[in-house]
Structure 1
Amino acid sequence: MQNQALAELIQYLEEVARRVRQLEEEGDAVLNSEGQVAFQVKLEEKAELLASLGEKTWALTEKIGGDLGDEVVQKLEQFSMSASTALRIGSVFFMTALLYPEDHKPGEPNDLENYIADLKKRA
């Protein structure tokens, strides 16, 4: 049961990571063509997606259980809380920086993608 739940969680997180990348690309495109407001809308979608991670994955993390389940809950809540904070304060900069450490270089995986890779090693 734990392995199946972990596999389902990884699959869901991969979908979220793809959607995040897609929203970021769409945001860059509309920034150049439609301006700052359209860009902010895309970033808000990204932040809302991340803010809902804890809620959307609750059932799966319960099935994983144990220390790993607790760790996953904590990590996903970190992502969720950062995104919720960005939405609450309405900071476009903060929304842009979600999932990216200060030393991130273009083309490198973001924090969610790195976490997914870590989970795959454990599966």
Structure 2
Amino acid sequence: MIAKLKTFAQHLKAELLALSYAARDPRTPWYARALALLVLAYALSPIDLIPDFIPVLGQLDDLLLVPAGLWLALRLIPPEVMVPARHEAAQHPQRLAKSAWGLALMLLIYLLFLGLARAWWRSRG
């Protein structure tokens, strides 16, 4: 079981690296590129949408959101872009660094959520 999880995690990292190469390819449609960048920003962000210290939910967002976003982004990118991107990722395996853009995105989402919650609270009374 643990060996399968390690294999899955390695595959996920390789696919995220390939996604980063595919997002830079000019043949990638703008909507696929936008989703790919959002997935990469979230995956590489030093903070999560749901903090890891919250039992169960904190780990579920990493186990569900990243693979689901990756799956969707990979479906939107044409195969003629993904094949060379996967090849490039296999030829130059590297660790993707934490992302300042990912951090900014997550902080923006938190601020948006807080603004919406405040507006809702004010509208109630």
TM-score bucket (shorter structure): 0.3 to 0.5
* Higher radius of gyration, 1 or 2: 2
Q: Which has the higher helix share?
A: 1
Q: TM-score, normalised by structure 1?
A: 0.33
**Higher RCO (Cα < 8 Å, 6 or more apart):** 2
